[in-house]
Amino acid sequence: MTQPDTPAAHGRPTQRTAAMSFIMVAVLIDMIAIGLMIPVLPHLVGSFTQSNDEQTLAFLAVTLTFGVANFVASPVLGALSDRYGRRPVLLLGFAGLALSFFITALATALWMLVAVRLFSGAMQSNMAIANAYVADISAPQERAKRFGQLGAMFGIGFILGPVVGGILGNIDLRLPFLVAGAMALLNLCYGWFVLPESLLPHKRRPFEWKRANPVAALRGLSALRGVGPLVWVIALSGLAQFMLHMTWVLYTKFKFGWGPWEVGLSLFVVGVVMAFSQGVLMKPLLHRFSARRLAVIGMVSAACAYLGYGLATQGWMLYAIIFANVLAGVVAASMQSIVSNAADARDQGQTMGAVSSLNSLMAVAAPVVGLELLRWVSQLPPGHLLIGLPFYCCAALQLAALLIAARFFQRHPAPVAPAAA
């Protein structure tokens, strides 16, 4: 077994495979822990409010603080991982996540939830560092497939986390946060004793504040050769996806009367579809299509799905759309491979941190736009088509991203053939 402090990059193929297995397990545990809280956090926020309107505004404050903190901190943590290695920054994230879950479980006022989400956002950049880790141990032609494998772990975490969170939330709204904190501590122990380092010492670079601030990181991302306008594609797709995440629990409550169990079950199905898409479909699809083509196909599917979510008149329709939207799961892995392959090996942490920071910026905008749109229609009678207004906006955003990507890919042909497995 590769030792925890032994760099796994550029070792023997068996070492790279083992390192990939280690980071996949770490991401799986992390996503289960995060998934536990998703069905219950809006309801916990609602326990401190008196109406749908107040609940929406309070949830906006809670999500906004997380997004702002994460936007500022992600490129810093990414640059720190380029300097000190991926493993210590991942361990810091696991520890911060555990602490934030436990404090959330003990919160007695709304301001405490806002404060702990601010702390959690500043400490949490695990997916960005995990993506940099995968880039360290993968050849460029392998990255789309391996980002897909990592995305499959994300999906499996969403299979297990939300449904268990929904069950626990029906017992007590605070119980999922205690269990999630224990899961994060388990991940900290796993990372400490098992997870190997991926970044070789000679590939590390000095930490510079001027390169670690989010504005400079985003500027550097847009300047990458072969990326350019794709930054807008990532941004618009991310904004649409985050708007879906931010409004799903309250949307299904207002329109269909769903509680934690129903939400958890729906997210369980989302996780199954995501895991199947990225863990099973991704490899054979890469034999037939390039990462660029897969991204376009996935964006077409996503735009149609957002429209369908908004138009749905019964809860069962959401499940039909989730299953039909299976190809949307390949978009993130495809775009990450395109960006990662455009970056220098010594800049993977900062590059993935910049992508994470861009997504965090969209996470800041998403509740402002999505929850405000939902607040406008929150007093409409259940089943009213206008309650789907946030999802109509998501469809428009995804369509804009699709048009930008298609135009860019048409004008800038890919320099290499589709990746082999």
Lowest mean pLDDT among 11-25, 98-112, 319-333, 379-393: 11-25
- Confidence check: pLDDT of 258 > 80: yes
Q: Is the pLDDT of residue 153 over 90?
A: no
- Give the best-scoring range by mean pLDDT among 25-29, 71-75, 164-168, 337-341: 164-168
Instruction: Indicate whether 332 pLDDT > 80.
Output: no
- What is the mean pLDDT of the segment spanning 49-77? 81
Q: Locate all alpha helices (DSSP H) within 110-229, ordered by sequence.
A: 110-123, 126-137, 143-171, 175-193, 209-212, 214-222
pLDDT of residue 1 exceeding 80: no
Q: Which amino acid is at 74?
A: S
Q: Is a pLDDT exceeding 60 seen at residue 10?
A: no
For the ranges 107-111, 173-177, 192-196, 324-328, which has the lowest average pLDDT? 192-196
Residue (of 154, 327, 299, 156) closest to 241 by Cα position:
299
pLDDT at 278 over 70: yes
Mean pLDDT is lowest, of 9-18, 117-126, 317-326, 360-369, for 9-18
- At 417 the pLDDT is 44
User: Given a cut of 70, is residue 415 above it in pLDDT?
Assistant: no
**Long-range own/partner contacts, residues 55-59 (CB < 8 A, 24 or more apart):** 55/250, 56/250, 56/371, 56/374, 56/375, 56/378, 57/371, 57/375, 58/110, 59/246, 59/250, 59/367, 59/371
Distance, in Å, from the CA atom of 141 to the CA atom of 15, rounded to the nearest integer, reads: 18
Which residue did the predictor score with more confidence, 2 or 308? 308
Residue 350: the pLDDT is 56
Of 266, 318, 301, 290, the closest CA to residue 395 belongs to 301
Q: What are the b/e assignments for 212-239, b being 16+ CB within 10 Å?
A: bbbebbbebbeebeebbebbbbbbbbbb
pLDDT at 351: 62
pLDDT, residue 342, reads: 63
Percent of the chain scoring above 70 in pLDDT:
84
Query: 15, 7 in Cβ contact below 8 A?
Result: no
Question: Using alpha carbons only, what angle is made at residue 155 by residues 263 and 385, rounded to the nearest 5 degrees?
Answer: 40
With a cut of 60, say whether residue 225 has pLDDT above it.
Answer: no
Question: In this predicted model, which residue has the larger pLDDT, 341 or 22?
Answer: 22
**Residue 323 burial (CB count, 10 A):** 12
Residues 159-203 have pLDDT tens digits of 788 888 888 888 898 999 999 899 889 888 888 888 788 887 877
Q: Which residue has the higher pLDDT, 348 or 393?
A: 393
The fold of the 13-195+210-411 domain, in CATH, is Growth Hormone; Chain: A; (1.20.1250)
- Confidence tier at 4 by pLDDT (50, 70, 90): low
Coil, strand or helix at 378:
coil
Identify the weakest region by mean pLDDT among 215-229, 308-322, 350-364: 215-229
Give, in order, the Cα–Cα distances in Å from 194 to each of 16, 41, 303, 366.
Answer: 14, 31, 41, 36
Q: What is the mean pLDDT of the chain?
A: 80
Question: Given its phi and psi angles, is residue 228 left (phi above 0), alpha (psi -120 to 50 degrees) or beta?
Answer: left
**Of all helices (H) and strands (E), which one includes residue 322?**
helix 315-324
Q: Is pLDDT of 3 > 50?
A: no
Interatomic CA distance for residues 253 and 303, integer angstroms:
23
Q: How confident is the model at residue 414 (pLDDT cuts 50, 70, 90)?
A: low
> Is residue 297 pLDDT above 50, yes or no?
yes
Contacts of 345 (CB under 8 A, 6+ apart): 135, 136, 203
Q: Is the pLDDT of residue 226 over 60?
A: no
Which is more confidently placed, 102 or 82?
A: 102
pLDDT grade for 8, boundaries at 50, 70 and 90:
low
Domain locations in the chain as residue ranges: 13-195+210-411
